[in-house]
Amino acid sequence: MAPKILVIDDDENTLWLVSTLLQHNDFEVIKSASATEGLDIARDQQPDLILLDVMMPDMDGWEVCRRLRETSAVRMRAAAASRSGELIKASSMRRASCGSR
């Protein structure tokens, strides 16, 4: 059975691109265009991995991560990329909100 990945992003183009790349690499992909819906899906579907946008209009990704941490056993690692494509280290982000298990 293919690993199940939940992709949560309010940007339709990003959601499509990431989902398509994952599907072409034989992952089962679940998509959500909102943080609130993504939380519900994560609780119901129990994905193996969640790829989460940090900046969303209904709830930021840090809050989603904090809420998931309270109710889910999904392993989480924080990483982000700036608009220039530079990888930002987890230690420079809100590690306490979404730290690793």
Query: Cα separations (Å) of 51 from 54, 78?
Result: 10, 10
pLDDT value at position 90? 46
The pTM for the full model equals: 0.79
- How high is the mean pLDDT of the chain? 80
For residues 62 and 98, the answer to whether their CB atoms sit within 8 Å is yes
Strands (E) across the chain are located at 4-8, 28-32, 49-52, 80-81, 87-88
pLDDT value at position 56? 86
User: Domain limits of the chain?
Assistant: 4-98
pLDDT value at position 65? 86
32 Cβ contact list (under 8 Å, min separation 6): 6, 7, 8, 9, 38, 41
CATH topology of domain 4-98: Rossmann fold (3.40.50)
Structure tokens at 60: 């930021």
Sheet holding 28-32, edge to edge: 28-32, 4-8, 49-52
Q: How far apart are CA 50 and CA 11, in angstroms?
A: 16
State pLDDT tens for residues 30-66.
Answer: 999 999 999 999 999 999 989 988 888 888 888 888 8
